[in-house]
Amino acid sequence: MVFFPSPGIGHLIPMVELGKLILRHHPSFSITILITTPPFETGATAPYMSRVASEIQAITFIELPPVELSVTQIDHSLTFMFEWLLLCKPAVAQALQSISEKTVIRAFVMDSFCSTALDVATDLGVPAYFFYASAAAFLTVFLYFPELNKQNPGKFRDLACDLVLPGLPPLPPSLIPEVMQDRNKKVYEWFLYHSAKVPQGKGILLNSFEELEPLGLKALQALMDHTHGGVPRPPVYWIGPLVGGEDRSGGDNDTLQWLDSQPAGSVVFLSFGSVGRFSEAQIREIAVGLENSGQRFLWVVRSPPREDNDRTKRLRPSEPDLEELLPQGFLQRTADKGLVMKSWASQAAVLSCAAVGGFVSHCGWNSVLESVCAGVPMAAWPIYAEQAMNAFLMVGEMGLAVAVERGDDGFVKAEEVARCVRELMESEVGKRIRERMAAVKDSAARALRVGGSSLKNLEAMVNAGKHLPSSLETEA
Ligand code: UDP
């Protein structure tokens, strides 16, 4: 199988996990992962790839040759990425061609942001699948986007009423991500392009599991029944949760040792994805709130966004100067109960520590799944992309998170930080969320066991049309 993740560690990790899962049950397969490294790469990918390559021989990475992209008229960093991926198409074609000369490619699985590469696989006669790295509920919105686009000539957020989609409750238009709001933007056109292209694959592999998202399951079923210009929609294979392992080799041993020395369930972890960043004012406000909450904490702090508007550098911040950024004396005053990490933590390993009792998160889908797999309740503080929708589901539909109340400008005051941290860690509400999380954690583990829903679905995909001998027919 050949995988083509879009740039960014949040898209690479689940695809590597998919590779590992397939290899566990089909050891005769090999997985080749095509990697493209644009200038905005955070730097997290290279060490991760070398760890994976050294541990698993059947996974090989092919780094595609660099391409040159002029950065004029780029309205969003994702536009840059999509244009970049388009330029990578000839290199993808060459890589697939050369692999197919040596072996039969059973499937080409590309991230849904890499849909410009679909034609390459089609031209070579390779079965092409898409990998969708977010929630089923949001996949429904994404697949329905061409219809939404036709129905609403303006910006969604200007609508006076909620959006109505098959199988979903009425959705406030503000839940539609910024990149899908404004039809005058290039990035909007790109989303429209991908949402029309993804259904043309042989199937969609979804990084979620049926027991986590009853609403998403219902919505996708309703969408399948919804005629799509007479064209049948492709099958959706729920194959999650695919999350990074609890790898402790990421270089933050001191942090993990500190966590191991804290009482069980006593530490709140704050981390906002691979690229989430706050203004200096917001960072200070979080510090004040955390200190006032009186809770133990582990907080990943990244440098605030720079003033210069070079979108190609957006994802590569410098190391933060904590003494300068945080309120005077904060680090000293909280030294006995808190730890601040610069820029990055081994998140999955941190979440799996017994000491971690809550997670203040931006609700990126990988973070949600990692929290679910570790059974850690969340406080939902969405920042960008489809995180508002994920937060809406986590708080309302699933009851797995408390909501962090943001001002109209997205700013969160210190009192609110303290309130939701306390609610998460100490209150009856937090306790009930923790109990629900524990149950969902069990169902996550079951989904990937032999006989579990996701493993059955994966097997159906792997065997689709191939009649491979299955090792997975026995019940758990
Ligand atoms: N991550 C990490 N350490 C950090 C920040 C992020 O290991 O300090 C990992 C996290 O565990 C997750 C991924 O990066 O696997 C982020 O993916 P997510 O979908 O949550 O957010 P995104 O970065 O795509 O916004």
Q: Is 338 in the pocket of ligand 1 (CB under 6 A)?
A: no
Query: Is residue 453 in contact with ligand 1, taking CB distance under 6 Å?
Result: no
C-alpha 274 – ligand 1 centre gap (Å): 4
Q: Is 273 in the pocket of ligand 1 (CB under 6 A)?
A: yes
403 has a pLDDT exceeding 80: yes
In angstroms, rounded to a whole number, what is the distance separating the alpha carbons of residues 373 and 241? 8
Instruction: Tell me the two tokens of residue 21.
Output: 């899962």
Q: Would you say residue 473 has pLDDT above 50?
A: no
User: Which phi and psi angles does 177 have, rounded to 5°?
Assistant: -60, 155
pLDDT digits (tens, 9 = 90+) for 156-181: 889 999 999 989 999 999 999 999 99
The pLDDT mean for the chain works out to 91
CA distance 198 to 231: 13
Residue 245: what pLDDT?
74
What is the C-alpha separation between 367 and 362, in angstroms, rounded?
8
Q: What is the pLDDT of residues 227-243, one digit of tens each?
A: 666 667 899 999 999 99
Decide if pLDDT at 213 tops 70. yes
Lookup: tokens for 330: 């904060």
Tell me the whole-structure pTM to 2 decimals.
Answer: 0.94
- Pick from 426, 421, 424, 404: nearest CA to 287: 421
Residue 469 above 60 pLDDT? no
What pLDDT, in 10s, does the model give residues 382-395?
999 999 999 999 99
**Cα 469 to Cα 473: distance, rounded to the nearest angstrom:** 10
For ligand 1, atom 17: residue with the closest CA: 10
Check: CB of residue 76 under 8 Å from CB of residue 311: yes
- Cα torsion angle, 20, 25, 27, 28, sign: negative
* 203 Cβ below 6 A of ligand 1: no
- Contact 239 CB / ligand 1 (< 6 Å): no
Crossing angle (nearest 10°) for helices 9-25 and 45-55: 10
Is the ipTM above a cut-off of 0.85? Answer: yes
Checking if the pLDDT of 260 tops 90, the result is yes
Compute, in angstroms, the gap from residue 12 CA to the centroid of ligand 1: 10
d(C-alpha 80, C-alpha 58), whole Å: 32
Which ligand 1 atom lies nearest to the CA of residue 274? Answer: 23
pLDDT of residue 467: 46
136: pLDDT strictly greater than 80: yes
Count the alpha carbons within 13 Å of 99 in the hemisphere toward its beta carbon: 25
Which residue's alpha carbon is nearest to atom 22 within ligand 1? Answer: 273
pLDDT at residue 468, as a whole number: 40
pLDDT of residue 274: 87
Residue 153 has what pLDDT? 87
Cβ(390) to ligand 1 under 6 A?
A: no
Residue 333 scores a pLDDT above 90: yes
The confidence band for 55, taking pLDDT boundaries of 50, 70 and 90, is very high
pLDDT value of residue 307: 60
Cα four-point dihedral sign 270, 275, 278, 284: positive
Closest CA to 366 of 16, 34, 57, 77: 16
pLDDT in tens, 334-345: 999 999 999 989
Cβ of residue 388 lying under 6 Å from some atom of ligand 1: no
- Please tell me if the CB atom of residue 363 comes closer than 6 angstroms to any atom of ligand 1: no
pLDDT of residue 308: 52
CA of 272 to the centre of ligand 1 (A): 7
State yes or no: cis peptide before 317, omega within 30 of 0.
no
pLDDT surpassing 50 at residue 86: yes
Domains for the chain: give ranges and CATH numbers.
2-240+449-464 (3.40.50.2000), 253-443 (3.40.50.2000)
Provide the pLDDT confidence category of residue 247 given band limits of 50, 70 and 90: low
pLDDT at res. 370: 97
